[in-house]
Structure 1
């Protein structure tokens, strides 16, 4: 970072009333006094951790007050001024920091890792960068609705090295979204200086590569911050486009208090101390005759009294004693599904792929705020042609081609959901979901449990082997998500279920990973209703009844099981799970009590697969009903090979036949 200028800070009040100038001061003083109090409490051992924003308050306060109250802001952990300027009650803020029930996460998260849609704020998660993509989604919602609003998201200089920074800016630029990407360039990413973070002279220079407007301002000058953001927002409401705004400032405390600042040269620290946003603005107001030592003292006393009252209220509250049922039920947004039956008996023979397309089309017709996003899904119709013709019917605003930015697109889908939209993201292949893993696992899945907002997002996952597509286009990776509370995982095996479960997924307000086996797309067909209908998520299907043994499976495994049982002539019961999370344990238990023998089959690899969890459940809860050990068969514990002969060996089909014979002879 360049040395801070030590010239006297110049404030331009042109066009600003006395009332506004004093209001800005009042809102600048408030978070500073909170900070001072937190540092005292930290030294007293009454708070456990604190991320200080001292010296940076003008950015958060100026930007927040420059926006309209209903414009969404995505702050980070040093942006206390956003929350105070939006009127978030201090007692609830402190309760949040202390892990109390009355905080915004009921004690489930700390610091500023929360949101409050009442105040149009969505906080960060610990992983830097994801909030930028959420702001894209909110900006897209504004643009689709023609609302004339902007979103503003904060990031630090260090986080500009994250891939999500590139993805979010690229998507916003391509789609011309009204998003202000505000960089707090405060000199250090924890202890890493700018010379080890980037090579450009200013971070605003990065805007050139995205074709977006970019500028650098003095982040310590409250009037410059307010004026710049206000003018940008006014322009963007009329002419939507993204802007990169670099705000020069300095972090006067450690990354968090335990880190200290020993790595900062003393001369640099002294220079920036002269640029303190509060003391400089106080000097200006006194020169203008708007502030006196007496009025300053009065305002300080009022805020301190307010802060002390909020502290006492939070301290008086005990540790959270959340009921077990509340903890479990808050993982998902409340939803009771009532299956919808087709209105007529009209049916048409449809392939698996056509059933998905039919369901997607009817979901778009039913939900006018549903937006589809994915690579090549618009005019091209997707690599599997599932959305072929959708642009003609629904338009490119709702059927959107995306850049190759999986993480940003999942984040944008979540941003849309925050504004009341539904979103679908098509992974071109399920394997590519790794590029969006953080958004799915840490944002979509945890959002409702953390602070009550839901993620109304469906991620479609073309998956599976059998097409000699090799290690990166053939994986069955459902177990990655099966382990993540807050997600629902759906995996149909028939055209009927493919359509019905997809339509049910769009009715459900929770994030759903919807798996589609590619080898079933054009190899399997059946007569399914032409009308809209849904199949209940979380309910397994008994494919065939039997008494000799139970096969628990899903996806392509259902077809393998049917073929094997028919060829061996066994009176077996086959259960198609259809939904993997939540699992239908009741149907499994009923079958095992009847047959007394069970084998679990899945295409995914054996170790860590879903079969292990089901086997453990059966062994723990149904041991007295078993006449043989619970058996499993799955793919080899190797990556998926390309050559057809090796892929055949990898898959469990032949081994499953032998394992069934072994179980029958036990």
Structure 2
């Protein structure tokens, strides 16, 4: 292995040696503890240390790194106290996730590290968002994100590279090509000769680096970083290396040919570099012993701290309180002046005024800039706020949601417009597995709103008509708003953007231009988790949201003789179940109307909660009314039959007669 061609001082060479052997010595100890049952799992980076150490050493401490589970060298080079790493791996309180996640699935703002999730791909888009925030804040920073050769087959990899290339984001995409994805060799994973070839399609600068040569890694990455800080752009790096142990320890390496293992063992990044330093008289055996003794003492002392810490205790209240970041809601009361506007206008106003309130707010979505979005909600925004903050995106929902998360991590706010709520399925993974879980896992909030134009009644067919709120009300960590009126939409949108937690904000397309209301001209907020009592009555309680509220109002107008409470939920998470209970205790009968199909919807949970908590007050079974259990049809007569508006009237009359 060639080490003589690099301009690195002897002092730096020695520093890199110390940084290289530290993760190796920790790993060797962890493998012993794993066999003893004192840690539960281990993903070994033995043989790959030069990549983590070299990349991290080339970066500034203020720059974010997004590592994977073989990048222990990132954490040690950033000088995270070892007892915190050890307690993390033991699931104790001094770790980074309060025992809620394992191994390297954590991040730390203190050390500018953002850990992975097991789905791998989303962190690439998160790096895009962090880098975008740096550009918007005029910070000359580089962001480095790691992935393995296996994850380069994921759609998120390609989406993230495309976004970074189109937006000239200073991201180092670091591929550790270690030969195997678990047991699958590279020739069964991709056809191109080298993974850097994938950068060609994105017009991206790409380099192959010997991942086992610490000086090659450090000097090349250091040079690239210095350039990127002045000339922002993404760079794809393929580090050629090898995984000397199993995917994780339980899987072993029996699938690896012995001759291949033997060949790579001779390329060990530590023993080769150590021999070089000995030959250059930068090291001697006494120095090596002294360096290792210091590291071993540090490991032992920190292990004692970790072992002496008590096991973590489960507390239901603490667990529930950590699902969402506390939000100090501040009511902003509107002034008296109003105007009669449509729902679509109210949302546009609320979004525009939030852009004025928050200069760190970025809007992203397909066609939202010059074109103003397919529903024209952001029309004119680009000219007022600029292309930097009102950003057209490629058609890649997953990467854009992840980018929004990266913006949040780096101190920004983001609103993502799904062109239609149906298309959120292409961005589902980062919403439910990254945004929703981050605060609970490692105390990192997701200051992201995803706008969701939804709903049927406009003849748009199966792929542009869904009202899919139940996909998200099921997921702890997400908030869901679903206004039915212009006044509520504007105030709730402002609150959603103020809230540091991820919010799915549903906007019914059929209501956009059909529903008018007097709405304050100025900025105001409305609280989440507070239902609106639209009508008061004594004989029946009607609970709905979105378009269902208007169907219920139309039905009651046909039957003025019916004395009904009509509750508009307005938000589904948090849910104002107390208002439902209060109404049911008064009327004794409950009917719940939703546009979504029946099974597994919001109505089912409300019905169950009422049965559990208000059974003695009920004079009849709780009734649910919803759309048919089919995809949403296109033809008008079929769509009318699919929707529950007419069935609601019949069901309500039957319940009243019970």
State if a TM-score over 0.5 links the two structures.
yes
Residues 1:378 and 2:369 are matched in the alignment: yes
1:236 aligns with 2:224: no
Long gaps (5+) in structure 1: 1-8
Within a 5 Å distance, the mapping from 1:204-223 to structure 2 comes to 204-223=196-215
Q: From 154, 163, 179, give the equivalent of 2:155.
A: 163
1:537 deviates by 1.0
Residues 42-67 of structure 1 show CA distances to partners (whole Å, capped at 9, x for unaligned) of: 22222221100000000000000100
Out of 452, 457, 469, the residue aligned to residue 461 of structure 1 is 452
Match among 81, 89, 96 for residue 97 of structure 1 = 89
Residue 115 of structure 2 is matched in structure 1 by 123
Instruction: Tell me what 1:5 maps to.
Output: none
Shift of 1:102: 1.3
Per-residue CA distance 1:142-187 (angstroms, 9 max, x = gap): 1111101010000000000000000000000000100000000000
Contact 2:65/2:144 (8 A) holds in 1: yes
2:519 paired residue number:
528
Quote the residue 1:199 is aligned against: 191
Shift of 1:290: 1.1
| CA distance in structure 2 between the aligned counterparts of 1:339 and 1:463, rounded to whole angstroms | 28
The 2-side partners of 1:290 and 1:507 are apart by 56
**What is the Cα deviation at residue 346 of structure 1?**
1.2
Two-structure CA RMSD over aligned residues (Å): 0.8
CA distance in 2 between partners of 1:379 and 1:338 (Å)? 33
Q: How does 1:270-289 map to 2 (within 5 A)?
A: 270-289=262-281
- Look up the match of 1:4: none
Q: Is the contact between residue 55 and residue 221 of structure 2 (CA under 8 Å) also seen in structure 1?
A: yes
| Whole-Å separation in 2 of the counterparts to 1:320 and 1:605 | 42
1:575 pairs with 564, 567, 570, which one?
567
CA contact 1:12–1:224 (8 Å) conserved in 2: no
- Higher alpha-carbon deviation: 561-570 or 166-175: 561-570
Once the 2 structures are TM-superposed, how far is the Cα of residue 12 of structure 1 from its aligned partner?
3.3
8 Å CA contact 1:12, 1:223 repeated in 2: no
> Is 1:334 matched up with 2:332?
no
Q: Matches of 1:40 and 1:297 in 2, distance apart? A: 21
Could you tell me how far 1:41 is from its partner in structure 2?
1.3
Match of 2:392 in 1: 401
Query: Scaled by the length of structure 1, what TM-score is found?
Result: 0.98
Q: Indicate the residue corresponding to 1:498 in structure 2.
A: 489
CA distance in 1, matches of 2:4, 2:589: 81
Give the superposition deviation at 1:13: 6.0
| Cα distance in 1 between the residues matched to 2:431 and 2:159 | 16
Aligned partners of 1:314 and 1:466: how far apart in 2? 60
1:437-448 equivalences under 5 Å are 437-448=428-439
SS in 2 for 1:357: helix
Q: Which residue of 2 aligns with 1:361?
A: 352
Aligned equivalents of 2:36, 2:93: Cα separation in 1: 23
Distance 1:15 1:186 in 2: 27
Shift in Å at residue 326 of structure 1?
1.2
Asked whether 1:174 is paired with 2:166, we answer yes
TM-score of the pair, normalised by structure 2: 0.99
Q: Is residue 6–residue 216 contact of structure 2 (8 Å, CA) maintained in 1?
A: no
Q: Which moved more, 1:512-521 or 1:562-571?
A: 562-571
* Greater mean deviation of Cα atoms: 486-495 or 322-331: 322-331
Shift of the alpha carbon at 1:14?
4.0
State whether residues 373 and 402 of structure 1, in contact with CA within 8 Å, keep that contact through their aligned partners in structure 2.
yes
Mapped to 2, the partners of 1:12 and 1:517 lie a distance apart of 66
SS of 2:621's partner is coil
Q: Does 1:449 align with 2:440?
A: yes
Matched, 1:36 2:36: no
Q: Matches of 2:347 and 2:504 in 1, distance apart? A: 14
Q: How many residues align?
A: 657
Deviates more, 1:252-261 or 1:41-50: 41-50
Shift of 1:15: 3.1
SS in 1 for 2:75: helix
